[in-house]
Structure 1
Amino acid sequence: MERSGGVGGGAGGGGYRGRVGGGNGKGIGRGRDGGGGGNDGSQSQPHLQRQQHSRQQYPRQRQRWMPANQGGTIQSGQGEHSQSGYGRGWGEPPRGGYSGGSGGAIGGLDDHGGFNQSSRSSSWVERPRSGYSGGSHGGIGGLDDHGGFSHNIGNSGWAELPRGGNSGGNGIGGPDDHAGFSRNSGNSGWVEPPRRGHGGGRGSGSGPSKCKGPTFPTTTPTVPRKSDYPESKPLRSPNLQSQGISEKLALPSDTTSKIVPVKRPDKGGKLAIRTATLQVNHFPVSFDPESIIMHYDIDVRPDVPPKHGRPARITKSNLTLIRNKFFTDNPSQFPLSMTAYDGEKNIFSAVRLPTGKFKVEFSEAEDMKECTYTFTIKLVNELKLSKLKDYLCGKLLSIPRDILQGMDVVMKENPTRNMISVGRTFHSFESCEADDLGFGITASRGFQHSLKPTFQGLAMCLDYSVLAFRKRLPVIDFLYQHIPGFELRDFRSFRRDAENALKGLKVTVTHRITKQKYMIAGLTKDNSRHITFLAEDPDGKAPQRQVSLVEYFRRKYCDIQYKDIPCLDLGKSNRKNYVPMEFCVLVEGQVYPKEHLDRKAAMFLKNMSLATPSDRQRIIGRMVSAGEGPSGGNIIQNFGMNVDKNMTLVEGRVIGPPELKLSASNGRVMKISVDKEKCHWNLVGRGVVEGKTIERWAILDFSSSDRDRLRPEQFISKLRARCENLGISMKEPLFCQSATMHKFSNVDMLHDLLEAVNDRANKTCRGQLQILLCVMSRKDPGYKYLKWISETRVGVVTQCCLSILANKGNDQYLANLALKINAKLGGSNVELIDRLPYFEGGDHVMFIGADVNHPGARNTTSPSIAAVVATVNWPAANRYAARVRPQDHRKEKIVNFAVMCLELVETYARLNKVKPANIVIFRDGVSEGQFDMVLNEELIDLKKLFQSINYNPTITLIVAQKRHQTRLFTRNRGDGSSNGNVSPGTVVDTKIVHPFEFDFYLCSHYGSLGTSKPTHYHVLWDEHGFSSDQLQKLIYNMCYTFARCTKPVSLIPPVYYADLVAYRGRLYYEAVMEGHSPASATSSSSSLASSSLSSAPSFDDRFYKLHADLENIMFFV
């Protein structure tokens, strides 16, 4: 009998993540069981696309890019007994053997033993069985062919010992074919990839399948030794938690391939000291998966010829009015109740609309001539909601953002029509007298909402918000309320205040009927009675003539009552439009900046926003059910959508706090436990872990000429005593020098002063000044000058304090001051007793935090400021170095991310004599829509730079989000803190999280005011293979190591510090732009900074580069 031919070629590997189609397999065989060719890789079973299974493992190397998600099926071969099997895109699929045996799922003589597949989407769960003659003990092994492999009953991967078939031998292949998928006598499973066979017995085989997706490395990896993976600490694979092997991902060789976020490694964590039943402000949204939302693009243009070659610009408010007019005029073809409009170019409809060009007549006012507009509507896409259902079920890997965006516009349509829209928030038109903030300002309660794909399905997340608005008042009434002591008859005295209060506001006019809104450009130079203008003859027959504004209004509208005050200039560009103030009314819904509120009003607004958990929960429930809310009316119902009015119930877990390390009064290390409810700890009778000796310090007193000036002897005595109690040795200051707040606010004088103080210190003692304590009588804008000069020019650490607080000498205040000083000088305030979870081994670990600070909403030119911080010690991991850079306006990608990280790695290596083998990155400030940028730009840049210097650390990348609307509420009184908030350590990783990606919500702090907001952590990349429990406890424990307080913080310290450094960079920018470079700076930098308020200096790295003496210490704490 002739031996069977070579096995059929493997199914074409699926393109990575299904983005690139796989190629066809190829089979070569001569026997009766010759292999058939594989199908295209795109025909995989969708429920297995949720796993990123990789059959290649390499010790201490990166995880290889596998065509992991779209294996195809194997076609039957030409032999009589070939059988097809399912490929999963892992290099080489199962192959049909000679008449699969009675026990085998696929097995066969002289080929594979079989294995069965689970109907669940997570992994293979049934034990492999040997086929007929496939070897009585082999998981897959057969005569003269593969060594077998078996697996763990679980949801993550293969874990049991591989078993050899008859002649397969302990997981190593038979004499004439493949090496097996496992290593010798190990317990971790297949770590070596399939290799090209030698002919498959007497037949010939094509070997592993070909793939159009990312390719495998050409080098042959070595088989790991058992000693590489000690059983006491199994390393973990990203998606194969039971595998027990470390997997690292290499960069894709195909540049078109993209990385997608890592999948959840398990079904959620189990670690807890107790559980808590929680209510979450996620409201389930049901939808008809058979529905189709029609997406149209609209274009509205006036028929009048453009002036100066440019078409007339139509305001956003007029666009909405024109659209409404058009739809109202044609209700049968364009039903308003079946459409939603985003206010720009997009209309979403539940029914098919006519397309083409249409004419619509529209007038901005009743006394104005109607203009004809061409309304063009074009079908862009048909959004099939079945795709969203597939994504929520895990059948589709990439999120259908176009569908979510369309449904989000639909959800916002009813509030948009019935409420005031400000950014993403909606507020009621009605104001309550009790919410009056004075000065023509009122507070308004509102909400913001968004759609989120979650494990339980689609959900609407809605949260409460508060804003201050200018009241809808006649302009003159507003001036009386807003400007203290305002008198119309003495308008000249209040002109500047009036113009500042009104400029940029929107008004409507009352002297004619119109819905048009005008923006106030300013006040006229002359009063109403002195204003004249050239008027055209309505019939165009008579020449233009000079007309008085008073006469014009008397003849056409009515008499002007207040003729001796200026008019409002409502014109645009060179077009004048003067309207007397008495005919103008402020448009409702104009936000008043909270930073401009007086202290009393600001406190009132803050208290409104800090609603208690029970109040917030009640307000949210009322807003969800409101008629003007997102589910009111019948709009969403017409699109086949419905919102459940009940909050989501979820089971939360409370993680226990770590034990901390402080020092006792005798200097010995002591172990402490935190308060059970608040998780705080106090410093009474305790000291910092490592207190620095402060010998060279001085005081610069800017309050010396003010009423609340510093009492230096008393302050120095108390501060030194408090430092001594905490284990920080503080000597007498070198000197206490007096100055004035005037010098504090002048950049040139301040620079000269700091240089002189530094020189005086150097002359007084040998060595650099360690810290300069700067005492102010009040908060002052000069703070930014002080930080910029001291940290980038002079190179001295500063600590600011207010004289009024320094004189009081409160024990807690002095302790906080001492903690900051100690951290800035390189001391260690608090540490964990045990090493951080997961990293109990000897390898060094670096934690990186990254953030970008963007300019204010109305700023269109200022740079964004990128900051990266990193730990520089291990295992305490509580000292940080920082880097800061300017970059293009509002650019979220950190352009120099890789370079900044490499600088910090080199700093770590200098301080520790070794580079970190593990890096965990926490990225702040990015939304879900920017995950792709972080993964495929920032991370790729970093890995390429590391590879270029042959540095290959194990990397995990996690996004930390605080700008979200999710809130957790306890259902039972005993499940949370006494004030109604959830307890510190509360974590939720089921129901409200992503359907299949690795994310969770963690509330790590005690919420003393308002309602606690958890931080949302989303793992994008994980070469460490963290389990949910490991990562959640790691992050929670690190929240106890923040240097300047004695309680856990709400955000993991690397991100918290990165945020502080990015803000510090913003202060540098403001200092550069508001002042000019000090004389001591280089001549080139001086000329740059003092040239003008151009953007040139703001993007110059020299103005942000930290002084060499401060680069590697925590000056920013």
Structure 2
Amino acid sequence: MAGRGGPRGRGRGAPALRGRGGGPSIGSVPSSGPGIPNQGDHIATVGVKRSAFGSSGRAIEVFTNHYEVSIPQGMIYHYDAISPSEHTLPARLNMELIVKLQERDHPEIFTPRGVYDGRKNMFSVKRFPFENDTRTFDVTLSDPNVQDSPGRAAVGRGPKIYKIKLTKVAEINPEVLSRFLEGSQSHDNTVLTAITALNVVVRMEPTKNYPFNVRSFFTPREQKDIGGGLVLWRGYFQSVRPAIGKMLINIDISTGTMYKEGPLLNICLEFFNRGNDPNILAPARGLPERERLRLQRFISGVRVMTNAANQGQQGRTRTPRVVKKLSSAGANSLSFTMREGGTMTVAQYFARTYNRPLQHPAILCVEVGNGALIPIELCTVVPGQIMRKQVPPEKTKDVLEFATKKPADRLASIRNGLGVSLPRFATILIRQFGLHVKDTGGPLSVNARVLNPPTLKYGQNSKQPTIVPRDGAWNMIDKKFFQPATIKAWVVVVYERQNRFRDENAKDMIAGLLEACAAVGIVVQDKQPLVFWENAQGTIADHLRKAGLACNQKKGVFPNLIVAVLPEQATDIYTAIKHFGDVSTGVATQCLKSQKCTRAKQQYYANVCLKINVKLGGINTIPDARSVSILTDPHNPTIVMGADVIHPAAHSEGRPSFTSLVANVDSDTAKYIADCRVQTSRQEMIDDLEDMATHMIDMYINYRRNVEKKPNPQPKRIIFYRDGVSEGQFRQVLEHELPQIKKACAKMKVDPKITVIVVGKRHHVRFFPKRPDEADRSGNCRAGTVIDRDIVHPLEMDFYLQSHGGLLGTSRPAHYNVLYDDNRLTADGIQQLSFALCHVYARSTRSVSIPAPVYYADIVCSRAKNHYDPGANLDLTETGTADDAHASEQLEVFKNNFKPLHRNMQFLMYFS
């Protein structure tokens, strides 16, 4: 599965995705606090209106990657740009056509020039002189004055003609934008269109001159060859966004994965990384069909130039051709019927037509857009092409290394990026729209605060029972778990070869684990677990079942923990082990890597114990009640829920999306349970939320009643954190998911007050310390840095919180949007609550970047593949994708084969 396929929780830099209407205001609206724009009841919002700013914590100032921009004063005219007789064309081609129309064909009409987004929207400061405000133009890419200009069709035909229809659809008065920024105008379609127009203005020139995706463009001035036919290019993200009282432009660096330019043959050989012998691409010489399909998926969509004569322009096509697929046989085995009769192989055709025998006639051909077959050796990849597929897993490390920059270096690149993204030749274009970037003072300085971390409580037997984290980290020296678990019996199953992980290695590993368990308070009743070495080629479930039976025979009890030692690259074994434990038997499993176990330090086993304890029902640490009164108020029992959806990779048809819901069952919001479901591919809203929420409420009530013996087991509050929805889907969350939570409450006969908060990390907002003493050791802002002024939404309650300490590169804060709030929580309350929840993530002694229940929901989704029987041969990888014709049929197969969690695991943090 891809991590995240659909649109995620973007910041306010994605106005074009936000479909705000004029619906009723949602949430409580106390009177405005100091510095808050005067918002009348007539101002409609999707989320909760901001009523006050937060004030807790230590006030500081930080730099952010924003610059202020002025608002246009004159009218802006909005045109629909469509090509009525064509299918949807690539944005790159659309852009080229509009440029030709304005600059070459009709400069007398398009002066000053309009700006275009590559799709449907065109904006101009001038109303074009069209009859009835609409006109259709014929545009060709070829220059009629140049015989061999790009875009001319084959000999004997004229150039291809594209029809472009421009129709005025709206007039935008920038005054509505001014009112919106002041808080006296709803975020309606007029505001939305005005912000979209400004974004198109700043992106027009870069996207005209460089490869681009939705909001970034890429230049070759900084690049890195990572092998496999791929090169990384440095890119620049830019987005115009509203803030309180002003418009800002958000500038950031990004990374583009590009196809390497040059001979297609070389790229194909690099892809397989098996030397320079072209015959590895010959089906007749042993190229497996699976490998051919893998290569086909990699190069499909690539634009190539073909050069049959290998010199000059004589044999070169005038426009690049798009690779559709690979042939199933080599050029010397592919035959076709000629018009004059008779058959000929592709190799023979090119040898006769161009008087040049192929050097490698046995290797594959590419099929291009018009169905023609061209030998790979005659194709050259056009430079500057973005690889829009999932990055191969083995290249992820290279991408991260290239993308990672320390905060000071990133800020310097962003300063430089402003000169690239808004170059001097674009100045006239930007100024004609009245858009001026105020960059003389450098990046924007904004007000921030550093929140105090929560106090964490450990077990009563600890020498130091409480601790206050520093810079998002703490250690467990001299501390016992708040609620240690018990290992009644356990077995060790080793899947590494015995000559690499010997008997003494197993003994050292067991001793290390026992020592770590004793240090944190885990009770181990069985000090001598049985150890088995197994062959990874066998049936994993049989191995584990056999180990469990042996334990029962010898010790009279089945194990409640299975520890498995795995070799490198053992994903299939891991999945099978988790399926056996989480789905089939309900026995806790813990996988370890053999390399890490060999001569492991005690810190490694201490970290393993963090996972084992919660998998067996223990609790590692809880926040002190005085630190987070919202969570621990005995009169208002609170359920905190985290929900997420994960989508298949792009181009993976017939693969499902997975949903998850995680919630606490205890009064200290430290013990969580999870539910996971499967649903229609790439659907973001959760279909089964009512059922999942009902289950969570039921489990919460039972735990408080039967385990904690509370007199008031029913929840009075629900805090629902939703991960990863884009701003355009906020209203859907309120219309589709919130009612399901309310129905679950009604079904359980409870009536809690509900707060809905969206957490997003798919944005480009970054913060940088202004002074060295305000940075942590990594050079980042300190954990707990919160910003709810200056760069936030003009009307709605949102804030940025950097809750974790930095490790590598520049930390990304989480963006919180409060969509609904029956609980009438204050800004300080929600911010402190969210920060505290980032400290109860059981798997580490560091605070994390998003609240623990949301983090858990993300993990549960990514492990959904463990719910499939390994023996069912269902391929969830991109390489196993179905074709379009069988996609829906395949999706049903995945839905029907999805196994629910074992009943025993429904009470435990199996996902830790």
Q: What TM-score, normalized by structure 1, do the two folds share?
A: 0.69
Residue identity in the other structure for 1:688:
F
Instruction: Indicate yes or no: 2:121 matched with 1:346.
Output: yes
Partner of 2:777: 978
8 Å CA contact retained: 1:419, 1:628: no
Instruction: Indicate yes or no: 2:545 matched with 1:755.
Output: yes
Instruction: Indicate yes or no: 2:611 matched with 1:813.
Output: no
Partner of 2:575: 784
Partner of 1:281: 65
Q: Structure 1 residues 889, 702: closer, same or farther in 2, change over 3 A?
A: same
The CA distance in 1 between the partners of 2:630 and 2:492, in whole Å, is 45
Instruction: Indicate yes or no: 2:361 matched with 1:564.
Output: yes
Instruction: Indicate yes or no: 2:102 matched with 1:327.
Output: yes
Residue identity in the other structure for 2:911:
F
8 Å CA contact retained: 2:647, 2:682: yes
Partner of 2:6: none
8 Å CA contact retained: 1:1073, 1:1098: no
The CA distance in 1 between the partners of 2:795 and 2:559, in whole Å, is 54
The CA distance in 2 between the partners of 1:577 and 1:334, in whole Å, is 43
Deviation of the 1:686 alpha carbon: 1.9
Alignment of 1:961-976 (within 5 A): 961-976=760-775
RMSD of aligned C-alpha atoms?
3.6
**Residue from 446, 468, 486 that aligns with 2:276:** 486
Partner of 2:911: 1116
Partner of 2:9: none
The CA distance in 1 between the partners of 2:274 and 2:247, in whole Å, is 51
The CA distance in 1 between the partners of 2:587 and 2:763, in whole Å, is 38
Alignment of 1:710-725 (within 5 A): 711-725=505-519
- Could you tell me the percent identity over the aligned residues? 26
What SS does the aligned partner of 1:980 have?
coil
Deviation of the 1:439 alpha carbon: 5.0
Alignment of 1:183-332 (within 5 A): 260-266=46-52, 268-272=53-57, 274-301=58-85, 316-332=91-107
Deviation of the 1:995 alpha carbon: 0.9
Partner of 2:304: 507
Instruction: Indicate yes or no: 2:889 matched with 1:889.
Output: no
Residue identity in the other structure for 2:637:
H
8 Å CA contact retained: 1:277, 1:649: yes
What SS does the aligned partner of 1:957 have?
strand
Partner of 2:613: 822
The CA distance in 1 between the partners of 2:658 and 2:491, in whole Å, is 31
The CA distance in 2 between the partners of 1:954 and 1:620, in whole Å, is 43
Q: Structure 1 residues 686, 667: closer, same or farther in 2, change over 3 A?
A: closer
Deviation of the 1:518 alpha carbon: 1.7
Residue identity in the other structure for 1:395:
S
Instruction: Indicate yes or no: 2:585 matched with 1:794.
Output: yes
Partner of 2:890: 1094
8 Å CA contact retained: 2:607, 2:844: yes
Deviation of the 1:338 alpha carbon: 2.4
Q: Structure 1 residues 362, 686: closer, same or farther in 2, change over 3 A?
A: closer
1:660-712 per-residue CA deviation (whole Å, 9 max, x = no partner) reads 22236x4577222333xx34222222221121121122222222545235622
8 Å CA contact retained: 2:363, 2:376: yes
Q: Structure 1 residues 873, 977: closer, same or farther in 2, change over 3 A?
A: same
Residue identity in the other structure for 2:542:
D
The CA distance in 2 between the partners of 1:448 and 1:18, in whole Å, is 28
8 Å CA contact retained: 1:654, 1:985: yes
What SS does the aligned partner of 2:170 have?
strand
8 Å CA contact retained: 1:294, 1:352: no
1:226-284 per-residue CA deviation (whole Å, 9 max, x = no partner) reads xxxxxxxxxxxxx9xxxxxxxxxxxxxxxxxx983111121x22212x33221101222
Partner of 2:880: none
**Residue from 226, 235, 257 that aligns with 1:446:** 235
8 Å CA contact retained: 2:472, 2:803: no
**Residue from 666, 670, 679 that aligns with 1:878:** 670
Alignment of 1:640-789 (within 5 A): 640-645=434-439, 646-663=442-459, 666=461, 670-675=465-470, 678-705=471-498, 707-709=500-502, 711-732=505-526, 735-743=529-537, 749-764=539-554, 769-782=559-572, 783-789=574-580
Partner of 1:1055: 854
Q: Structure 1 residues 765, 777: closer, same or farther in 2, change over 3 A?
A: same
1:924-968 per-residue CA deviation (whole Å, 9 max, x = no partner) reads 011111110111221123224423554210111111111111000
Partner of 1:75: none
Q: Structure 1 residues 426, 898: closer, same or farther in 2, change over 3 A?
A: same
The CA distance in 2 between the partners of 1:501 and 1:652, in whole Å, is 49
Deviation of the 1:813 alpha carbon: 0.5
Compare 473-482 and 415-424 and name the one that shifted more.
473-482
8 Å CA contact retained: 1:771, 1:799: yes
Partner of 2:173: 384
Q: Structure 1 residues 509, 934: closer, same or farther in 2, change over 3 A?
A: same
Partner of 1:89: none
Partner of 1:521: 325
Q: Structure 1 residues 1076, 1033: closer, same or farther in 2, change over 3 A?
A: closer
**Residue from 461, 464, 474 that aligns with 2:263:** 474
Structure 2 residue runs without a partner (length 5+) = 1-19, 143-150, 308-314, 706-712, 877-886
8 Å CA contact retained: 1:414, 1:633: no
The answer to which structure has the higher helix fraction is 2
Deviation of the 1:752 alpha carbon: 2.9
Deviation of the 1:892 alpha carbon: 0.7
Partner of 2:13: none
What SS does the aligned partner of 2:536 have?
helix
Residue identity in the other structure for 1:617:
L
8 Å CA contact retained: 1:957, 1:1022: yes
Q: What TM-score, normalized by structure 2, do the two folds share?
A: 0.84
Q: Structure 1 residues 708, 269: closer, same or farther in 2, change over 3 A?
A: same
Alignment of 1:366-381 (within 5 A): 367-368=154-155, 369=157, 370-381=159-170
8 Å CA contact retained: 2:27, 2:48: no
8 Å CA contact retained: 1:300, 1:373: no
Residue identity in the other structure for 2:407:
P
The CA distance in 2 between the partners of 1:882 and 1:490, in whole Å, is 47
The CA distance in 1 between the partners of 2:571 and 2:29, in whole Å, is 56
8 Å CA contact retained: 1:508, 1:518: no
Deviation of the 1:993 alpha carbon: 1.0
Instruction: Indicate yes or no: 2:210 matched with 1:413.
Output: no
Alignment of 1:54-93 (within 5 A): none
What SS does the aligned partner of 1:904 have?
helix
1:447-506 per-residue CA deviation (whole Å, 9 max, x = no partner) reads 223232211422222221224433211224445655442134786458567885464243
Structure 1 residue runs without a partner (length 5+) = 1-16, 22-48, 56-68, 70-117, 125-155, 157-212, 214-238, 240-257, 303-311, 537-542, 1078-1090
What SS does the aligned partner of 1:1096 have?
helix
The CA distance in 1 between the partners of 2:376 and 2:487, in whole Å, is 67
8 Å CA contact retained: 2:655, 2:890: no
- Report which of the two structures shows the higher radius of gyration computed on alpha carbons: 1
Residue identity in the other structure for 2:445:
L
Q: Structure 1 residues 818, 336: closer, same or farther in 2, change over 3 A?
A: farther
What SS does the aligned partner of 1:895 have?
coil
The CA distance in 2 between the partners of 1:452 and 1:936, in whole Å, is 26
Q: Structure 1 residues 54, 1056: closer, same or farther in 2, change over 3 A?
A: closer
